[in-house]
Amino acid sequence: MMATRTRNEKRNLKVVFDGVIAVGPGHTDEATRPGPFFGVMARSTRRLSDRTRRLRRAKGKKNKEKALYIPMHVPTIFTLMEPTKDSRPPDQVLQLSPVHPRWYLWHPFRERLEFRFDGDGTSGPLAYLRGPQPTLVGHEIPTAPIAIHGIDQVPDLRLIWPERSVLLDGLLSADPGVNASVMTQVLVPYGLVAGAGTLDKGNPLEVVFDPPRGLPKHDALVPNAAVMVQANTIEIASYSLDTGERLDSIKFRMRDDAEIWLSNGDPSDVEIDMDELAKQVAERTAQAEGKTGGAKKGKAQQFAEQVNSTFRFESPEQNLRAALEFYHGSLDEVTSGLAIDHHRAGNVDIDFELFYTLTKNAYLALDGRGLPVPRRPRPGDEFNGPNCYLAICDTLDKLFLKSQDR
């Protein structure tokens, strides 16, 4: 039985950064740092990786190195929260089946996104969750299963390659005509900053950075970061990076604990993630509804009961899983229509190279040693799913929130 809440009681929100996003400010020895927390999404078009060129040069005529291409990445906001009536409408609404919740999606190309909570976008302190943490998941349906970890378990360019850890000047500028290498800017005014992971990387995974340029050994890492706040209403104010003009806002009123995902990923990887998250959320929702019983049953539970005549397993849990598989399809079925090789990188996160298009001192790569990217450390180890890590960076830009001037 879920605890009842008052109308004005604030809900827990996780703003989850996912994919090729340079984030900061990074954690220091100080208890807190001034906000806002920032994210810069790198622009990308399909390109042959630096790693492929380097290994082919090294092997010369004996070269049999498989070409690893960095695919296009698309900025995407996705959430299970329904936008308010006065919100910018979503670019897509996806619902895989009556069992599954709806995903609301926006694609903010060349936009500056500034979060405002309960009508206020004033910068405040950023606290950082540190060290190994117990795994925490969303408290209530329909939150997604996200494991929270210490911020020090997120890849940090200040350790990976210190001389390439500072962003180019102006990438976080609020002025029109922001550098073309930036696809999207994100600023969250305050909150508790942590590492995060989900699906096959919910727990920290051992990786090395190859070729090594900085710290020789890194702790096990998670791919995401999350800023956690409490709020009743959320507004994502938006501005054009090309003209500086104010665009229409994305708005929500929170009814439960929830997540907003900010992703810069290969579209196929994002689709796989959303598909797997939707399946897990649907399963948790149906299980919760099944426990409540009574005459009033949710759609998920009604559907599970309808297929019981077809899937005659001994336990309700097995019937529910069969129902979800029936409507949802196996992972192979879901991904069969996606035009990618899901093992395009195997044990390497080749997309990590895109961070070096955003950072200073590019001349250091002219030594031919290559750009450090995450790699599984042991022979035979591979990434089991989308393997796109973000990175903590520094900036010399003065952070400024345009929406404060309204």
In angstroms, rounded to a whole number, what is the distance separating the alpha carbons of residues 167 and 354? 12
pTM of the model: 0.85
Sign of the Cα torsion 38, 43, 46, 49 reads: negative
pLDDT of residue 302: 61
Q: What is the mean pLDDT of each run of 10 residues along the chain (406 residues)?
A: 60 94 95 95 89 83 77 91 97 78 92 97 94 52 73 96 97 92 96 88 88 89 94 97 96 94 82 73 63 50 57 60 60 48 67 96 94 90 78 95 78
pLDDT of residue 339: 43
Q: How far apart, in whole angstroms, are the C-alpha atoms of residue 297 and residue 219?
A: 46
Question: What pLDDT does residue 345 have?
Answer: 47
Q: Which of 196, 242, 259 is nearest to 389 (CA)?
A: 196
Listed residue (393, 356, 399, 21) closest to 173, CA to CA = 399
For 366, other C-beta atoms within 10 Å of its C-beta total 7
DSSP tally for the chain: helices H, then strands E: 6, 21
Q: 10 Å Cβ neighbour count for 262? A: 29
Domain range list for the chain: 11-268+345-397
Burial class (CB in 10 A: 0-12, 13-18, 19+), 339: exposed
Closest CA to 92 of 108, 79, 103: 103
CA distances from 179 to 71, 172, 186, 405 (A): 21, 9, 15, 23
